[in-house]
């Protein structure tokens, strides 16, 4: 793999439906589904549920590809142009986690969010125990703006949510 400094190269493209099976294969079981999508797929996550989800208004799905064109990441920007944006449902192929691909992918999504969609700011939710993700987002300039204790339930556990926000840079 090629890298630029400490960042892995990731090519970002609009998500195409042909990548759905690969993406869904990264989500193994109910816990993974909850970690990735919160309450978005309350019932089941399958091809049809996901394709229906993609039809939501103002939802912009993206894929991240390695230099050799392997799908390695997925994420969504949600929001109206020049409004408030949300970065959500970010996931990196389990085989590529912890290598910097997620950070590079999210940095490129933020560039799209601020330059193409002109969002005034971008927010996101992360579970409090997902320390690698929170560390990644903070390294990209997000700051914590809220904490919601017991915001989600998974089986007999209550999961707290950390809400993070990044304002559009003046130069964007």
Q: At 47, phi and psi to the nearest 5?
A: -55, -45
Q: Could you read off the pLDDT of 16-71 as tens digits, one per residue?
A: 999 999 999 999 988 899 899 988 987 789 999 999 999 999 999 999 999 999 99
Q: Could you read off the pLDDT of 80-107 as tens digits, one per residue?
A: 999 999 999 999 999 999 899 999 999 9
Question: Token pair of 125, please?
Answer: 């939710």
CA-CA distances (angstroms) from residue 157 to 35, 130, 147, 152? Answer: 13, 15, 17, 8
Angle 85-90-94 from CA coordinates, rounded to 5°: 170
Name all domains of the chain by residue range, CATH numbers in brackets.
Answer: 3-123 (3.40.630.30)
Q: What count of other Cβ atoms lies within 10 Å of the Cβ of residue 47?
A: 11
């Amino acid at each position: 793999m090629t890298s630029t400094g400490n960042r892995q190269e990731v090519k970002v493209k609009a998500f195409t439906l042909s990548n759905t099976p690969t993406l869904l294969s990264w989500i193994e079981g109910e816990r993974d589904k909850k970690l990735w999508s919160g309450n978005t797929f309350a019932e089941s996550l399958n091809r049809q549920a996901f394709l229906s989800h993609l039809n939501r208004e103002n939802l912009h799905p993206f894929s991240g590809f390695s230099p050799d064109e392997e799908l390695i990441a997925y994420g969504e920007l949600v929001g109206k142009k020049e409004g408030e944006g949300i970065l959500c449902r970010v996931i990196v192929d389990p085989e590529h986690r912890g290598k910097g691909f997620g950070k590079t992918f999210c940095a490129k999504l933020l560039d799209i969010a601020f330059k193409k969609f002109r969002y005034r700011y971008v927010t996101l939710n992360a579970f409090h125990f997902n320390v690698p993700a929170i560390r990644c987002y903070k390294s990209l300039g997000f700051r914590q703006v809220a904490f919601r204790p017991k915001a989600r339930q998974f089986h007999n556990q209550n999961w707290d949510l950390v809400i993070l926000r990044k304002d559009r840079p003046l130069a964007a």
